[in-house]
Amino acid sequence: MPDLKKNSLNLLEWYKSVGIDICIQNSPRVRFKINSEDKKNIFSNKINNLKDLEKKIYKFNGSELKKTATKLVFGDGNPKSKIMLIGEAPGYEEDISGLPFVGAAGKKLDEMINAIGLNRRKNVYITNIVPWRPPNNRTPTEKEVSIFVPYVEKHIGIINPDIIILLGNIAAKAILKTKKGITKLHGNWFNYKNPYQNKSIYVICIFHPSFLLRSPGQKKYAWEDLKKVEKKINELKIEINEKN
């Protein structure tokens, strides 16, 4: 044993003499490993209503966005609706009010859905992929999106919609788990399976209202997509004239 200790010390001295001062492991060390208990809590069956889910997201400190944002932007509209809209992330006005789509893009969204008989107070429910405003309204990173997708999936499970309208690139890629962009996805129907439901949900992607404000020439395509939504509502016989 003394010889082993002496030999080890001599070996370390030799390493030091030739400039080796770090040790490389056979496998990488995972410094940011997700706590399995935290992941379990995200999918906990105890979270079965919007109030508990909102509390869970608010208490979650795994995203730096929480430190720079003003308010958690959780959702708005009729939680009993069979039509759910999912956007990207809050902007400045949303960060102040705590509600999704209340700025210029929100006004444009209201115009769009009103044109096919939908109303955010009566027959749709609205949320975002990311609930905290990114600094300077920048696009959320892939990491930020991936952090919150499990919460969005739970959100969808609680609302239990028959139709989901994905607004823009971020929402489309996150929910459909695809690399394709919105220009290829918009106007097409997809069958989406949520981990909390035993049914498939009809999903359609449309251009984000903020994109339409910057590119008014694309409005004609958005209108065609919205007419497809109206047709699907009629096919599924979803009641939109009265509050559910």
> What gap in Å lies between CA 47 and CA 43, rounded to an integer?
8
Which candidate, 57, 119, 109, 106, places its Cα nearest to that of 244?
A: 119
In the structure encoding, which two tokens stand for residue 37, read together?
A: 């208990």
**How large a percentage of the chain has pLDDT more than 70?**
80
Q: Which two tokens stand for residue 27?
A: 């496998």
Starting at the edge strand found earlier in the chain, the sheet holding 189-193 runs 76-77, 125-128, 83-87, 163-167, 200-206, 189-193
Position 67 pLDDT exceeds 80? yes
Closest CA to 47 of 117, 123, 151: 151
Q: Which residues pair with 203 in a beta bridge?
A: 164, 190
Residues 6+ apart with CB under 8 A from 70: 95, 96, 133
Domains of the chain, earliest start first: 50-236 (3.40.470.10)
Q: How many CA atoms lie within 13 A of 127 on its CB side?
A: 28
Query: Mean pLDDT across the stretch 222-237?
Result: 98
CA 175 – CA 45 distance, rounded (Å): 21
Predicted local confidence at residue 18, as pLDDT:
54
Summary mean pLDDT of the chain:
88
Average pLDDT over residues 117-135: 97
153 and 194 Cβ atoms separated by less than 8 Å: yes
**Confidence category of residue 243, pLDDT binned at 50, 70, 90:** very low
Alpha helices (runs of H) in the chain, residue ranges in sequence order: 2-17, 36-42, 50-59, 65-68, 92-97, 104-114, 142-159, 169-176, 182-185, 209-214, 219-236
**b/e per residue 147-169 (b: at least 16 CB within 10 A):** bbeebbbbbbbbbbbbbbbbbbb
| CA gap 116, 125 in Å, rounded | 15
What mean pLDDT is predicted for residues 220-226? 97
Give the whole-angstrom CA distance, residue 188 versus residue 167. 13
Per-residue model confidence as pLDDT tens digits over 97-121: 999 999 999 999 999 999 999 999 9
Residue 88, pLDDT > 50, answer yes
- What is the reported pLDDT for 47? 87
Site of tokens 């359609």: 204
Q: What is the pLDDT of residues 12-62, one digit of tens each?
A: 675 566 555 555 544 444 433 444 334 444 555 678 999 999 999 999 999
